[in-house]
Amino acid sequence: MRIIVARDYDEVSYKGANLIAAQIMLKPNSVMGFATGSTPEGTYQELIRRYEKGDISFKDVVSFNLDEYVGLEKDDPQSYHHYMMHNLHNFTDINKQNIYLPDGKAADLLKECKEYDSKIESYGGIDYQLLGIGTNGHIGFNEPAETISNDTMVISLAQSTIDANKRFFEKEEDVPRQALTMGVGTIFRARKVLMLVTGEGKAEILEKVLFGDITPQVPASLLRMHPDFTIIADEAAAALVKNRI
Ligand code: PGA
């Protein structure tokens, strides 16, 4: 595990984009796992800038996403499909055939989960997985639980996640109660994992992830066992750990 402490959100975004751009330069047909949420937005802007400068091309990149809400149409402004198109994919040369997210409107959600994992496998697995982290330690929508989830599955959102995400919706009742998410196993099988952690609101959970028990009650803590796991945290998020790393 490596931990990089950056000054602030902008520097996290800059350094995050550096690592992702290096991955794409070294392997132009990388299978990328992307994340949503407010944390990676700056990193996506940096990546678009590097694409515009001609430093990297997404032409051969394959993109998978961690998760999607159940019940939202792809073009719903709150869907993660919409988020990815408007925060990254519409501004690069990625082949639109190479963009995959779980379909939250699938008639058979369990079948959709199985097919999503098969699709990832058909590309040889994920080379590089980008993650944020929930204040409860979730990765994707893998909420604190008794057991480790393996494959992509249908989950019920924790109340703490509904509370955290309601800021994106008009009212709390509009937040979908279910989502499809890659399992911890799916994430763990990625060859490299990069987690971005920003803001003082993430300081307590980052301390638990780094120094607490490795437990499915703090899903991100499991990544301490991953062979190639990097965290970039800003000083605010690293406030409780910076003297110990
Ligand atoms: P955030 O969400 O980037 O909006 O804080 C992260 C997450 O819930 O995984």
Q: What is the pTM of this model?
A: 0.97
C-alpha–C-alpha distance, residues 203 and 190, integer Å: 25
Q: How far is the CA of 124 from the centre of ligand 1 (A)?
A: 27
**What parts of the chain have a pLDDT lower than 70?**
none
**29 in catalytic set:** no
* Contact (Cβ atoms closer than 8 angstroms) between residue 101 and residue 36: no
In whole angstroms, how far apart are CA 96 and each of 100, 197, 214?
9, 29, 38
Residues with CB under 6 A from ligand 1: 37-39, 132-134
| Residue nearest (by alpha carbon) to ligand 1 atom 8 | 134
**226 in catalytic set:** no
* Contact (Cβ atoms closer than 8 angstroms) between residue 213 and residue 221: yes
Instruction: Enumerate the β-bridge partners of residue 33.
Output: 64, 129
C-alpha–C-alpha distance, residues 145 and 142, integer Å: 8
List the catalytic residue out of 46, 112, 143, 234: 143
Q: How far is the CA of 62 from the centre of ligand 1 (A)?
A: 22
pLDDT of residue 15: 98
**136 in catalytic set:** yes
What is the tally of helices (H) and strands (E) in the chain?
7, 10
13-39 pLDDT per residue, tens: 999 999 999 999 999 999 999 999 999
Tell me the two tokens of residue 61.
Answer: 């990149």
Q: Which DSSP category does 67 fall into? A: E
Tell me the two tokens of residue 160.
Answer: 């703490």
pLDDT of residue 136: 96
Residue type, 80: Y
List the catalytic residue out of 46, 67, 112, 117: 67
The atom number, within ligand 1, closest to the CA of 202 reads 5
DSSP-H helix ranges across the chain: 9-26, 41-53, 80-87, 109-122, 159-165, 184-188, 203-211
